[in-house]
Structure 1
Amino acid sequence: MSGSTGSGIDRLSTSDFRRLASFIENYSGIKMSSNKRTMVEGRLRKRARALGLESLSEYCRTLFEDGGMVGEAINLIDAVTTNKTDFFREIPHFQFLADHVLPQLAGGDIRIGIDVPLKVWSAACSTGAEPYSLAMMLEEFGRQIRGFRFSVLATDICTEVLAIAREAIYPETMIAPIPDALRRSCLRRSRDKDRSLVRISPALRGKVSFGRLNLMDDSYPVDKDMDVIFCRNILIYFDRPTQEAVVRRLVGHLKPGGYLFVGHTESMAGFTLPLRPVASSVFQKR
Protein backbone atom coordinates (compact mmCIF):
# COMPACT_ATOMS: atom_id res chain seq x y z
CA MET A 1 0.00 0.00 0.00
CA SER A 2 1.33 3.44 -0.85
CA GLY A 3 2.44 5.34 2.26
CA SER A 4 2.71 2.15 4.35
CA THR A 5 5.68 0.73 6.16
CA GLY A 6 6.75 -2.88 5.98
CA SER A 7 4.63 -3.59 9.05
CA GLY A 8 1.51 -2.82 7.06
CA ILE A 9 0.64 0.23 9.19
CA ASP A 10 -0.22 3.26 7.07
CA ARG A 11 2.09 6.17 7.93
CA LEU A 12 2.54 9.75 6.80
CA SER A 13 5.73 10.53 4.97
CA THR A 14 7.80 13.32 6.46
CA SER A 15 6.94 15.62 3.55
CA ASP A 16 3.21 14.92 3.84
CA PHE A 17 3.25 15.54 7.59
CA ARG A 18 5.03 18.85 7.03
CA ARG A 19 2.48 19.88 4.40
CA LEU A 20 -0.39 19.00 6.73
CA ALA A 21 1.22 20.70 9.73
CA SER A 22 1.81 23.87 7.72
CA PHE A 23 -1.77 23.97 6.45
CA ILE A 24 -3.25 23.30 9.92
CA GLU A 25 -1.15 26.05 11.52
CA ASN A 26 -1.91 28.59 8.79
CA TYR A 27 -5.62 27.76 8.87
CA SER A 28 -6.24 27.40 12.60
CA GLY A 29 -3.14 28.70 14.36
CA ILE A 30 -2.61 25.30 16.00
CA LYS A 31 1.00 24.14 15.89
CA MET A 32 1.48 20.49 14.93
CA SER A 33 4.89 19.48 16.30
CA SER A 34 6.48 16.17 15.30
CA ASN A 35 5.39 14.54 18.55
CA LYS A 36 1.78 14.84 17.36
CA ARG A 37 2.46 12.86 14.19
CA THR A 38 1.07 9.56 15.48
CA MET A 39 -2.10 11.30 16.69
CA VAL A 40 -2.57 12.99 13.30
CA GLU A 41 -2.05 9.69 11.48
CA GLY A 42 -4.64 7.90 13.57
CA ARG A 43 -7.28 10.57 13.11
CA LEU A 44 -6.68 11.06 9.39
CA ARG A 45 -6.88 7.34 8.66
CA LYS A 46 -10.55 7.64 9.58
CA ARG A 47 -10.96 10.56 7.18
CA ALA A 48 -9.22 8.63 4.40
CA ARG A 49 -11.55 5.65 4.92
CA ALA A 50 -14.58 7.94 4.95
CA LEU A 51 -13.55 9.26 1.54
CA GLY A 52 -12.87 5.78 0.15
CA LEU A 53 -9.13 6.40 -0.10
CA GLU A 54 -6.66 3.58 0.43
CA SER A 55 -3.81 5.37 2.22
CA LEU A 56 -2.69 8.55 3.93
CA SER A 57 -0.47 9.36 0.96
CA GLU A 58 -3.53 9.17 -1.31
CA TYR A 59 -5.43 11.37 1.13
CA CYS A 60 -2.64 13.99 1.05
CA ARG A 61 -2.39 13.79 -2.73
CA THR A 62 -6.16 14.38 -2.94
CA LEU A 63 -5.86 17.43 -0.67
CA PHE A 64 -2.76 19.10 -2.02
CA GLU A 65 -2.58 18.04 -5.66
CA ASP A 66 -6.11 17.18 -6.78
CA GLY A 67 -7.99 20.16 -5.35
CA GLY A 68 -9.65 18.20 -2.55
CA MET A 69 -8.76 20.68 0.19
CA VAL A 70 -11.67 22.97 -0.73
CA GLY A 71 -14.24 20.43 0.41
CA GLU A 72 -12.16 18.71 3.07
CA ALA A 73 -10.56 21.55 5.06
CA ILE A 74 -13.29 21.75 7.71
CA ASN A 75 -13.29 17.95 8.16
CA LEU A 76 -9.50 17.94 8.42
CA ILE A 77 -9.54 20.61 11.13
CA ASP A 78 -12.37 18.80 12.93
CA ALA A 79 -10.29 15.61 12.90
CA VAL A 80 -7.11 17.07 14.39
CA THR A 81 -8.67 19.45 16.93
CA THR A 82 -8.31 18.38 20.56
CA ASN A 83 -11.41 19.22 22.62
CA LYS A 84 -10.93 19.00 26.38
CA THR A 85 -13.79 20.47 28.36
CA ASP A 86 -15.56 20.19 31.71
CA PHE A 87 -18.43 21.96 33.42
CA PHE A 88 -17.17 24.76 35.68
CA ARG A 89 -13.58 24.13 34.62
CA GLU A 90 -11.19 26.41 36.53
CA ILE A 91 -13.84 27.22 39.12
CA PRO A 92 -12.12 30.40 40.48
CA HIS A 93 -13.10 32.13 37.23
CA PHE A 94 -16.77 31.43 37.83
CA GLN A 95 -16.47 32.54 41.45
CA PHE A 96 -14.85 35.81 40.38
CA LEU A 97 -17.57 36.29 37.77
CA ALA A 98 -20.33 35.81 40.37
CA ASP A 99 -18.71 37.71 43.25
CA HIS A 100 -17.13 40.66 41.44
CA VAL A 101 -17.88 41.00 37.73
CA LEU A 102 -21.65 40.59 37.69
CA PRO A 103 -22.34 42.86 40.70
CA GLN A 104 -20.04 45.51 39.23
CA LEU A 105 -21.68 45.41 35.79
CA ALA A 106 -25.20 45.35 37.21
CA GLY A 107 -24.44 48.22 39.62
CA GLY A 108 -23.19 50.82 37.15
CA ASP A 109 -24.93 53.90 35.78
CA ILE A 110 -26.22 51.68 32.98
CA ARG A 111 -27.20 48.52 34.79
CA ILE A 112 -25.93 45.70 32.58
CA GLY A 113 -28.43 42.87 32.62
CA ILE A 114 -31.25 45.16 33.75
CA ASP A 115 -31.31 48.29 31.60
CA VAL A 116 -29.68 46.37 28.72
CA PRO A 117 -29.07 42.61 28.39
CA LEU A 118 -25.73 41.21 29.54
CA LYS A 119 -23.81 39.74 26.60
CA VAL A 120 -21.25 36.96 27.09
CA TRP A 121 -19.11 35.22 24.48
CA SER A 122 -17.55 31.80 25.01
CA ALA A 123 -14.89 31.48 22.30
CA ALA A 124 -13.49 27.98 21.66
CA CYS A 125 -16.52 26.51 23.42
CA SER A 126 -15.87 22.85 22.49
CA THR A 127 -18.86 20.59 23.30
CA GLY A 128 -20.67 23.29 25.26
CA ALA A 129 -19.74 22.71 28.90
CA GLU A 130 -18.29 26.22 29.27
CA PRO A 131 -21.16 28.25 27.76
CA TYR A 132 -23.76 26.19 29.62
CA SER A 133 -21.80 26.64 32.86
CA LEU A 134 -21.84 30.39 32.21
CA ALA A 135 -25.57 30.31 31.50
CA MET A 136 -26.20 28.41 34.74
CA MET A 137 -24.16 30.97 36.70
CA LEU A 138 -25.97 33.88 35.06
CA GLU A 139 -29.37 32.28 35.61
CA GLU A 140 -28.54 31.82 39.30
CA PHE A 141 -27.37 35.42 39.61
CA GLY A 142 -30.52 36.61 37.84
CA ARG A 143 -32.75 34.98 40.45
CA GLN A 144 -31.66 37.77 42.82
CA ILE A 145 -32.50 40.60 40.42
CA ARG A 146 -35.93 41.03 38.90
CA GLY A 147 -35.85 41.37 35.13
CA PHE A 148 -32.23 40.29 34.72
CA ARG A 149 -31.54 39.41 31.08
CA PHE A 150 -28.55 37.80 29.39
CA SER A 151 -27.42 35.91 26.34
CA VAL A 152 -24.42 33.67 25.71
CA LEU A 153 -22.77 33.32 22.31
CA ALA A 154 -20.64 30.18 21.94
CA THR A 155 -18.28 29.59 19.03
CA ASP A 156 -15.75 27.00 17.95
CA ILE A 157 -13.84 26.04 14.83
CA CYS A 158 -14.95 22.39 15.02
CA THR A 159 -18.36 21.55 13.55
CA GLU A 160 -18.53 18.17 15.30
CA VAL A 161 -18.30 19.62 18.79
CA LEU A 162 -20.79 22.35 17.91
CA ALA A 163 -23.32 19.67 16.94
CA ILE A 164 -22.86 18.04 20.35
CA ALA A 165 -23.16 21.40 22.09
CA ARG A 166 -26.43 22.23 20.34
CA GLU A 167 -27.85 18.83 21.29
CA ALA A 168 -26.86 19.56 24.94
CA ILE A 169 -26.92 15.90 26.02
CA TYR A 170 -24.10 14.77 28.31
CA PRO A 171 -23.13 11.64 30.26
CA GLU A 172 -23.82 11.83 33.97
CA THR A 173 -20.11 11.32 34.57
CA MET A 174 -19.57 14.92 33.37
CA ILE A 175 -21.91 16.67 35.78
CA ALA A 176 -20.05 16.13 39.07
CA PRO A 177 -18.63 19.72 39.09
CA ILE A 178 -22.12 21.25 38.76
CA PRO A 179 -23.51 22.39 42.16
CA ASP A 180 -26.52 20.40 43.35
CA ALA A 181 -28.91 23.36 43.18
CA LEU A 182 -27.97 24.02 39.56
CA ARG A 183 -28.31 20.34 38.68
CA ARG A 184 -31.87 20.39 39.96
CA SER A 185 -32.85 23.59 38.16
CA CYS A 186 -30.87 23.33 34.92
CA LEU A 187 -30.63 19.62 34.03
CA ARG A 188 -33.16 17.04 32.87
CA ARG A 189 -32.41 13.34 33.28
CA SER A 190 -33.13 10.80 30.56
CA ARG A 191 -36.46 9.03 30.95
CA ASP A 192 -34.65 5.84 29.99
CA LYS A 193 -33.12 4.77 33.29
CA ASP A 194 -30.64 2.53 31.46
CA ARG A 195 -29.10 5.56 29.80
CA SER A 196 -27.01 7.63 32.20
CA LEU A 197 -27.58 10.87 30.34
CA VAL A 198 -28.69 14.40 31.21
CA ARG A 199 -29.78 17.29 29.02
CA ILE A 200 -29.61 21.01 29.61
CA SER A 201 -33.09 22.40 30.28
CA PRO A 202 -34.96 23.97 27.34
CA ALA A 203 -35.10 27.37 29.10
CA LEU A 204 -31.33 27.47 29.51
CA ARG A 205 -30.65 26.17 26.01
CA GLY A 206 -32.70 29.09 24.73
CA LYS A 207 -30.20 31.53 26.27
CA VAL A 208 -27.19 30.08 24.40
CA SER A 209 -26.55 30.34 20.66
CA PHE A 210 -23.80 28.51 18.75
CA GLY A 211 -21.83 29.29 15.62
CA ARG A 212 -18.66 28.23 13.83
CA LEU A 213 -15.82 30.74 14.07
CA ASN A 214 -12.11 30.49 13.28
CA LEU A 215 -10.06 32.65 15.66
CA MET A 216 -7.43 32.96 12.91
CA ASP A 217 -9.81 34.93 10.68
CA ASP A 218 -8.94 38.61 10.20
CA SER A 219 -12.34 39.67 11.56
CA TYR A 220 -15.12 38.04 13.55
CA PRO A 221 -18.86 38.22 12.76
CA VAL A 222 -19.62 38.99 16.41
CA ASP A 223 -21.20 42.03 18.08
CA LYS A 224 -18.73 44.68 19.25
CA ASP A 225 -20.40 45.23 22.64
CA MET A 226 -19.65 42.06 24.59
CA ASP A 227 -19.53 42.50 28.38
CA VAL A 228 -17.60 39.31 29.12
CA ILE A 229 -15.46 37.09 26.90
CA PHE A 230 -14.16 33.67 27.92
CA CYS A 231 -11.33 32.46 25.66
CA ARG A 232 -9.61 29.85 27.75
CA ASN A 233 -7.07 27.11 27.07
CA ILE A 234 -6.87 27.68 23.32
CA LEU A 235 -4.16 30.36 23.20
CA ILE A 236 -1.61 27.80 24.43
CA TYR A 237 -1.80 26.14 21.01
CA PHE A 238 -0.67 29.35 19.23
CA ASP A 239 2.74 31.02 19.00
CA ARG A 240 3.15 34.37 20.80
CA PRO A 241 2.53 36.67 17.80
CA THR A 242 -0.64 34.72 16.97
CA GLN A 243 -1.77 34.86 20.61
CA GLU A 244 -1.44 38.64 20.66
CA ALA A 245 -3.23 39.03 17.31
CA VAL A 246 -6.13 36.83 18.46
CA VAL A 247 -6.48 38.61 21.80
CA ARG A 248 -6.36 41.99 20.04
CA ARG A 249 -9.28 40.93 17.82
CA LEU A 250 -11.19 39.59 20.82
CA VAL A 251 -10.69 42.83 22.75
CA GLY A 252 -12.12 44.70 19.76
CA HIS A 253 -15.44 43.00 20.54
CA LEU A 254 -15.35 43.90 24.24
CA LYS A 255 -16.99 46.99 25.72
CA PRO A 256 -14.76 49.42 27.60
CA GLY A 257 -14.90 48.10 31.16
CA GLY A 258 -15.70 44.60 29.93
CA TYR A 259 -13.82 41.50 31.07
CA LEU A 260 -11.65 38.94 29.30
CA PHE A 261 -10.99 35.55 30.91
CA VAL A 262 -8.12 33.37 29.62
CA GLY A 263 -6.78 30.03 30.83
CA HIS A 264 -4.76 29.92 34.05
CA THR A 265 -1.65 28.86 32.14
CA GLU A 266 -2.02 31.60 29.52
CA SER A 267 -0.18 34.90 29.85
CA MET A 268 -0.70 38.41 28.44
CA ALA A 269 2.82 39.46 29.53
CA GLY A 270 4.52 41.59 26.91
CA PHE A 271 1.37 42.27 24.90
CA THR A 272 0.54 45.91 24.14
CA LEU A 273 -3.21 45.73 24.65
CA PRO A 274 -5.78 47.99 26.38
CA LEU A 275 -6.16 45.53 29.26
CA ARG A 276 -5.42 45.67 32.97
CA PRO A 277 -5.17 42.56 35.16
CA VAL A 278 -7.85 42.34 37.85
CA ALA A 279 -7.42 38.72 39.01
CA SER A 280 -5.47 35.63 38.01
CA SER A 281 -5.90 35.35 34.20
CA VAL A 282 -8.76 37.90 34.26
CA PHE A 283 -8.40 41.26 32.50
CA GLN A 284 -10.56 44.37 32.18
CA LYS A 285 -10.61 46.54 29.06
CA ARG A 286 -9.44 50.06 29.82
Structure 2
Amino acid sequence: MNDASAAPQSREFTWTAADFNRIKDLIYRHAGISLHEGKQAMVYSRISRRLRDTGHRSFADYIKWLETQGDADEWQAFVNALTTNLTSFFRENHHFEELARMVREAPPGHEWKIWCSAASTGEEPYSIAITLADALGLSGRFQIWASDIDTKVLATAAQGVYKLEGLKNLSQAQLQKYFLKGKGDNAGLARVRPELQRHIEFFSLNLIEDNWSLRETFDVVFCRNVMIYFDHATQRQVLTRMHRLIKPGGMLFVGHAENFSDLKSQFVLRGKTIYEKV
Protein backbone atom coordinates (compact mmCIF):
# COMPACT_ATOMS: atom_id res chain seq x y z
CA MET A 1 0.00 0.00 0.00
CA ASN A 2 1.75 3.17 -1.21
CA ASP A 3 -0.71 5.81 -0.02
CA ALA A 4 1.40 8.05 2.21
CA SER A 5 -1.75 9.22 3.99
CA ALA A 6 -1.93 5.77 5.63
CA ALA A 7 0.57 7.07 8.16
CA PRO A 8 1.04 6.25 11.82
CA GLN A 9 -1.43 8.15 14.02
CA SER A 10 1.44 9.49 16.11
CA ARG A 11 2.74 11.70 13.32
CA GLU A 12 2.94 15.37 14.17
CA PHE A 13 2.01 16.54 10.67
CA THR A 14 -0.39 15.19 8.08
CA TRP A 15 1.58 13.42 5.36
CA THR A 16 0.14 12.57 1.94
CA ALA A 17 1.32 11.05 -1.31
CA ALA A 18 0.98 14.51 -2.88
CA ASP A 19 3.35 15.97 -0.28
CA PHE A 20 5.95 13.32 -1.02
CA ASN A 21 5.63 13.75 -4.79
CA ARG A 22 6.04 17.53 -4.58
CA ILE A 23 9.16 17.20 -2.40
CA LYS A 24 10.46 14.46 -4.69
CA ASP A 25 10.07 16.81 -7.67
CA LEU A 26 11.70 19.76 -5.89
CA ILE A 27 14.81 17.87 -4.75
CA TYR A 28 15.21 16.34 -8.20
CA ARG A 29 15.05 19.75 -9.90
CA HIS A 30 17.39 21.44 -7.42
CA ALA A 31 19.91 18.69 -6.64
CA GLY A 32 19.35 15.87 -9.12
CA ILE A 33 18.49 13.48 -6.29
CA SER A 34 16.00 10.83 -7.36
CA LEU A 35 13.89 9.59 -4.43
CA HIS A 36 11.97 6.31 -4.55
CA GLU A 37 8.87 5.35 -2.57
CA GLY A 38 10.93 3.65 0.11
CA LYS A 39 12.33 7.04 1.18
CA GLN A 40 9.00 8.41 2.43
CA ALA A 41 9.75 7.92 6.13
CA MET A 42 13.17 9.56 5.73
CA VAL A 43 11.69 12.54 3.88
CA TYR A 44 8.94 13.00 6.46
CA SER A 45 11.43 12.93 9.33
CA ARG A 46 13.92 15.34 7.80
CA ILE A 47 11.53 17.88 6.32
CA SER A 48 9.43 17.90 9.51
CA ARG A 49 12.37 19.71 11.10
CA ARG A 50 12.14 22.41 8.44
CA LEU A 51 8.41 22.84 9.22
CA ARG A 52 9.19 23.33 12.90
CA ASP A 53 12.06 25.73 12.23
CA THR A 54 9.99 27.87 9.84
CA GLY A 55 6.76 27.74 11.83
CA HIS A 56 4.62 25.90 9.26
CA ARG A 57 1.89 23.47 10.26
CA SER A 58 1.64 21.43 7.08
CA PHE A 59 3.90 20.17 4.32
CA ALA A 60 1.65 21.78 1.71
CA ASP A 61 2.04 25.22 3.31
CA TYR A 62 5.80 24.82 3.69
CA ILE A 63 6.27 23.70 0.08
CA LYS A 64 4.11 26.56 -1.24
CA TRP A 65 6.06 29.06 0.88
CA LEU A 66 9.39 27.57 -0.22
CA GLU A 67 8.47 27.86 -3.90
CA THR A 68 7.07 31.40 -3.68
CA GLN A 69 8.94 33.13 -0.85
CA GLY A 70 11.76 30.86 0.29
CA ASP A 71 15.16 32.55 0.17
CA ALA A 72 18.52 31.05 -0.78
CA ASP A 73 19.25 30.07 2.82
CA GLU A 74 16.03 28.06 3.15
CA TRP A 75 16.52 26.36 -0.21
CA GLN A 76 19.99 25.37 0.99
CA ALA A 77 18.52 24.08 4.27
CA PHE A 78 15.96 22.07 2.28
CA VAL A 79 18.69 20.48 0.14
CA ASN A 80 20.91 19.89 3.19
CA ALA A 81 18.05 18.07 4.91
CA LEU A 82 17.67 15.57 2.07
CA THR A 83 21.31 14.77 1.35
CA THR A 84 22.91 11.69 2.90
CA ASN A 85 26.43 11.95 4.30
CA LEU A 86 27.71 8.50 5.19
CA THR A 87 31.50 8.58 5.21
CA SER A 88 34.61 7.52 7.10
CA PHE A 89 38.39 7.77 6.88
CA PHE A 90 39.89 5.49 4.21
CA ARG A 91 36.52 4.08 3.25
CA GLU A 92 36.92 1.65 0.30
CA ASN A 93 40.64 1.62 1.00
CA HIS A 94 41.68 0.09 -2.34
CA HIS A 95 41.24 3.52 -3.93
CA PHE A 96 43.81 5.04 -1.60
CA GLU A 97 46.19 2.15 -2.22
CA GLU A 98 45.86 2.76 -5.97
CA LEU A 99 46.34 6.50 -5.51
CA ALA A 100 49.53 5.85 -3.50
CA ARG A 101 50.81 3.58 -6.28
CA MET A 102 50.10 6.24 -8.91
CA VAL A 103 52.00 8.85 -6.89
CA ARG A 104 54.99 6.56 -6.35
CA GLU A 105 55.23 5.75 -10.07
CA ALA A 106 54.77 9.32 -11.33
CA PRO A 107 57.73 11.38 -12.58
CA PRO A 108 59.50 13.30 -9.81
CA GLY A 109 58.21 16.81 -9.27
CA HIS A 110 54.73 16.16 -10.65
CA GLU A 111 52.15 18.51 -9.15
CA TRP A 112 49.09 16.51 -8.16
CA LYS A 113 45.63 18.03 -8.58
CA ILE A 114 42.70 16.06 -7.23
CA TRP A 115 39.01 16.83 -6.97
CA CYS A 116 36.87 15.22 -4.26
CA SER A 117 33.37 15.96 -5.54
CA ALA A 118 31.42 14.74 -2.48
CA ALA A 119 33.51 15.89 0.47
CA SER A 120 30.76 15.45 3.09
CA THR A 121 32.21 16.03 6.58
CA GLY A 122 35.79 15.83 5.31
CA GLU A 123 36.92 12.28 5.96
CA GLU A 124 37.42 11.54 2.26
CA PRO A 125 39.46 14.61 1.26
CA TYR A 126 41.60 14.31 4.39
CA SER A 127 42.21 10.62 3.55
CA ILE A 128 43.34 11.73 0.09
CA ALA A 129 45.62 14.36 1.62
CA ILE A 130 47.13 11.85 4.06
CA THR A 131 47.80 9.43 1.20
CA LEU A 132 49.64 12.10 -0.76
CA ALA A 133 51.49 13.43 2.28
CA ASP A 134 52.65 9.91 3.14
CA ALA A 135 54.13 9.63 -0.36
CA LEU A 136 55.36 13.20 -0.94
CA GLY A 137 55.71 14.71 2.54
CA LEU A 138 53.67 17.54 4.00
CA SER A 139 55.51 20.04 1.82
CA GLY A 140 54.87 17.99 -1.33
CA ARG A 141 53.32 19.43 -4.48
CA PHE A 142 49.66 18.49 -4.24
CA GLN A 143 46.35 20.30 -3.99
CA ILE A 144 42.87 18.95 -3.33
CA TRP A 145 39.61 20.65 -4.28
CA ALA A 146 36.84 19.35 -2.00
CA SER A 147 33.24 20.20 -2.84
CA ASP A 148 29.76 19.25 -1.65
CA ILE A 149 26.22 20.50 -2.17
CA ASP A 150 25.58 20.44 1.61
CA THR A 151 26.97 23.59 3.24
CA LYS A 152 26.47 22.25 6.76
CA VAL A 153 28.78 19.25 6.30
CA LEU A 154 31.33 21.45 4.50
CA ALA A 155 31.55 23.63 7.59
CA THR A 156 32.37 20.53 9.63
CA ALA A 157 34.96 19.47 7.05
CA ALA A 158 36.67 22.86 7.06
CA GLN A 159 36.85 22.79 10.85
CA GLY A 160 38.68 19.45 10.71
CA VAL A 161 37.81 18.22 14.22
CA TYR A 162 36.90 14.55 14.72
CA LYS A 163 36.26 12.07 17.49
CA LEU A 164 39.24 9.81 18.08
CA GLU A 165 37.00 6.76 17.65
CA GLY A 166 36.37 7.90 14.07
CA LEU A 167 40.10 7.76 13.30
CA LYS A 168 40.50 4.03 13.89
CA ASN A 169 41.42 3.39 10.22
CA LEU A 170 44.54 5.52 10.57
CA SER A 171 47.85 4.11 11.75
CA GLN A 172 49.33 5.48 14.95
CA ALA A 173 52.06 7.13 12.87
CA GLN A 174 49.45 8.90 10.72
CA LEU A 175 47.48 9.96 13.78
CA GLN A 176 50.56 11.51 15.37
CA LYS A 177 51.81 13.13 12.17
CA TYR A 178 48.57 14.64 10.87
CA PHE A 179 46.40 15.33 13.94
CA LEU A 180 46.56 17.25 17.20
CA LYS A 181 44.87 15.45 20.10
CA GLY A 182 42.57 17.53 22.26
CA LYS A 183 43.11 17.99 25.99
CA GLY A 184 40.84 18.94 28.88
CA ASP A 185 37.37 19.75 27.58
CA ASN A 186 38.49 18.58 24.13
CA ALA A 187 39.69 15.17 25.27
CA GLY A 188 38.56 12.45 22.89
CA LEU A 189 38.81 14.81 19.91
CA ALA A 190 41.54 15.45 17.36
CA ARG A 191 42.09 18.34 14.94
CA VAL A 192 43.73 18.10 11.52
CA ARG A 193 47.11 19.81 11.54
CA PRO A 194 47.25 23.07 9.57
CA GLU A 195 50.19 21.74 7.54
CA LEU A 196 47.88 19.11 6.03
CA GLN A 197 44.77 21.28 5.89
CA ARG A 198 46.47 23.92 3.75
CA HIS A 199 46.51 21.47 0.82
CA ILE A 200 42.67 21.38 0.69
CA GLU A 201 40.21 23.99 -0.56
CA PHE A 202 36.60 23.41 0.55
CA PHE A 203 33.74 24.94 -1.44
CA SER A 204 30.07 24.45 -2.22
CA LEU A 205 29.12 23.00 -5.60
CA ASN A 206 25.92 21.52 -7.02
CA LEU A 207 26.86 18.85 -9.56
CA ILE A 208 23.70 19.27 -11.65
CA GLU A 209 24.10 23.03 -12.13
CA ASP A 210 25.99 24.46 -15.10
CA ASN A 211 28.09 27.04 -13.28
CA TRP A 212 30.85 24.82 -11.91
CA SER A 213 33.49 27.10 -10.41
CA LEU A 214 36.36 24.79 -11.33
CA ARG A 215 39.02 26.05 -13.73
CA GLU A 216 41.53 23.24 -13.24
CA THR A 217 42.05 19.86 -14.86
CA PHE A 218 42.65 16.94 -12.51
CA ASP A 219 44.82 13.86 -12.29
CA VAL A 220 42.14 12.10 -10.24
CA VAL A 221 38.49 12.75 -9.48
CA PHE A 222 36.79 11.06 -6.54
CA CYS A 223 33.04 10.79 -7.18
CA ARG A 224 32.08 7.97 -4.86
CA ASN A 225 28.55 6.99 -3.86
CA VAL A 226 27.07 10.08 -5.49
CA MET A 227 25.68 8.75 -8.76
CA ILE A 228 23.48 6.23 -6.94
CA TYR A 229 21.22 9.18 -6.05
CA PHE A 230 20.88 10.32 -9.70
CA ASP A 231 18.82 8.85 -12.51
CA HIS A 232 20.59 7.64 -15.65
CA ALA A 233 20.19 10.88 -17.60
CA THR A 234 21.64 12.96 -14.76
CA GLN A 235 24.52 10.50 -14.35
CA ARG A 236 25.48 10.88 -18.02
CA GLN A 237 25.26 14.66 -17.81
CA VAL A 238 27.49 14.89 -14.73
CA LEU A 239 30.04 12.31 -15.91
CA THR A 240 30.35 13.96 -19.33
CA ARG A 241 31.22 17.25 -17.66
CA MET A 242 33.67 15.53 -15.28
CA HIS A 243 35.31 13.86 -18.27
CA ARG A 244 36.27 17.29 -19.60
CA LEU A 245 38.00 18.17 -16.32
CA ILE A 246 40.14 15.03 -16.08
CA LYS A 247 43.58 15.07 -17.67
CA PRO A 248 44.34 12.56 -20.44
CA GLY A 249 45.01 9.25 -18.72
CA GLY A 250 43.55 10.58 -15.48
CA MET A 251 41.41 8.46 -13.19
CA LEU A 252 37.85 8.54 -11.88
CA PHE A 253 37.21 6.70 -8.61
CA VAL A 254 33.55 5.73 -8.00
CA GLY A 255 31.56 3.91 -5.34
CA HIS A 256 31.28 0.14 -4.94
CA ALA A 257 27.68 0.10 -6.22
CA GLU A 258 28.31 2.27 -9.29
CA ASN A 259 28.99 1.00 -12.80
CA PHE A 260 29.47 3.14 -15.91
CA SER A 261 30.38 0.52 -18.51
CA ASP A 262 27.88 2.13 -20.92
CA LEU A 263 30.12 5.21 -21.15
CA LYS A 264 32.90 3.39 -23.01
CA SER A 265 33.57 6.38 -25.23
CA GLN A 266 34.58 8.37 -22.14
CA PHE A 267 35.86 5.95 -19.50
CA VAL A 268 37.40 2.50 -19.50
CA LEU A 269 37.47 0.28 -16.40
CA ARG A 270 41.02 -0.10 -15.04
CA GLY A 271 40.40 -1.76 -11.69
CA LYS A 272 37.80 -2.23 -8.99
CA THR A 273 35.54 0.84 -9.39
CA ILE A 274 38.41 2.74 -11.04
CA TYR A 275 37.98 4.25 -14.51
CA GLU A 276 40.54 5.85 -16.81
CA LYS A 277 39.63 8.76 -19.05
CA VAL A 278 39.54 7.75 -22.70
Q: TM-score, structure 2 length as denominator?
A: 0.91
Matching residue of 1:35? 38
Matching residue of 2:116? 122
- Give 1:216-231 correspondences, 5 Å limit: 216-231=208-223
SS at match of 2:258: coil
SS at match of 1:252: helix
Percent of aligned pairs with the same amino acid: 33
Shift of the alpha carbon at 1:7?
4.4
Offset from partner CA, 1:127-186 (integer Å, 9 cap, x none)? 00000000001001003xx97310111000000000000011111121001122111100
Shift of the alpha carbon at 1:12?
2.5
Shift of the alpha carbon at 1:68?
2.1
Aligned residue identity for 2:114? V
Confirm whether residue 80 of structure 1 aligns to residue 108 of structure 2. no
Shift of the alpha carbon at 1:46?
1.2
Q: Distance in 2 between matches of 1:81 and 1:12?
A: 20
Residues 57 and 142 of structure 1, relative CA distance in 2, 3 Å threshold: same
Which has the higher mean CA deviation after the structures are superposed, 3-12 or 42-51?
3-12
Aligned residue identity for 1:84? L
Shift of the alpha carbon at 1:25?
1.1
Check conservation: 2:89, 2:124, Cα contact below 8 A: yes
Q: Distance in 1 between matches of 2:197 and 2:97?
A: 22
Q: Distance in 1 between matches of 2:139 and 2:191?
A: 26
Check conservation: 2:85, 2:121, Cα contact below 8 A: yes
Residues 6 and 264 of structure 1, relative CA distance in 2, 3 Å threshold: closer
Moved over 6 A (4+): none
Check conservation: 2:181, 2:187, Cα contact below 8 A: no
| Aligned-residue CA RMSD (Å) | 2.1
SS at match of 1:228: strand
- Give 1:168-187 correspondences, 5 Å limit: 168-187=160-179
Aligned residue identity for 1:19? R
SS at match of 2:209: coil
Check conservation: 1:28, 1:215, Cα contact below 8 A: yes
Q: TM-score, structure 1 length as denominator?
A: 0.89
Check conservation: 2:91, 2:124, Cα contact below 8 A: yes
Q: Distance in 1 between matches of 2:219 and 2:164?
A: 31
Matching residue of 1:102? 103
Confirm whether residue 167 of structure 1 aligns to residue 170 of structure 2. no
User: Unaligned regions of 5+ residues in structure 1, if any?
Assistant: none
Check conservation: 1:248, 1:273, Cα contact below 8 A: no
Offset from partner CA, 1:162-214 (integer Å, 9 cap, x none)? 00000111111210011221111001111226631111111111111100001
SS at match of 2:52: helix
Check conservation: 1:219, 1:249, Cα contact below 8 A: no
Give 1:198's match in structure 2, choosing from 190, 195, 210.
Answer: 190
Check conservation: 1:231, 1:260, Cα contact below 8 A: yes
Check conservation: 1:155, 1:212, Cα contact below 8 A: yes
Offset from partner CA, 1:28-73 (integer Å, 9 cap, x none)? 1111112111111111111111112233332123123x33265521
Which has the higher mean CA deviation after the structures are superposed, 271-280 or 14-23?
271-280
Q: Distance in 2 between matches of 1:189 and 1:229?
A: 30
Shift of the alpha carbon at 1:22?
0.7
Which has the higher mean CA deviation after the structures are superposed, 17-26 or 157-166?
17-26
Check conservation: 1:12, 1:57, Cα contact below 8 A: no
